[in-house]
Amino acid sequence: MKRKFSSLTLEEVMQLVPAQHLSKWTLETSARASSNTLLDLFRRFKSFDLTGSEAAKVMLIDALLVEIVPDYPSLKVWKSASLESETVAGIADYLVAPTRAYLKTPLLCAIEAKRDNFDAG
């Protein structure tokens, strides 16, 4: 039986990758002005509590991905997508991968909308 990704310890994940150290990313990018659509949406978000739940985080992530990903037509976002290996499986909130009619590795990125309390999951 496959384990859930959420049940893995950091050590188990690092062995699965395989890696021994986490690396900080340094992104060399230029500043980009937010669209009026995003600014308006964030203004409207002031009516919502966006700090207390996973669902609130999903609203923010959706807005940011809708703003950014269309500028990269070679990428596609998959929501609530199944992610599986030989030993582990689970549902990722978001997977970013090359644009295809189907989801396949390699993946660029997996995004999870979690509460700020890491111990809670």
| Sign of the alpha-carbon torsion through 91, 104, 23, 68 | negative
Tens of pLDDT along the chain (121 residues)? 888 888 888 898 888 888 898 888 887 888 889 999 999 999 999 999 888 888 888 899 999 999 999 999 999 999 998 888 888 888 888 999 999 999 988 788 888 776 544 444 4
Q: Record the tokens describing residue 43, joined without a space.
A: 């203004």
With a CB cutoff of 8 Å and minimum separation 6, the contacts of 93 are 58, 61, 79, 80, 111, 112, 113
Quote the pLDDT of residue 70: 93
How many residues does this entry show for the chain? 121
State residue 18 phi and psi, 5-degree precision.
-85, 145
How many Å from the N-terminal Cα to the C-terminal Cα in the chain?
22
The answer to pTM > 0.85 is no
With a CB cutoff of 8 Å and minimum separation 6, the contacts of 102 are none
Give the single-character DSSP code of 40.
H
Identify the residue whose tokens are 């660029």: 108
Give the single-character DSSP code of 46.
T
Instruction: Name the amino acid, one letter, at 17.
Output: V
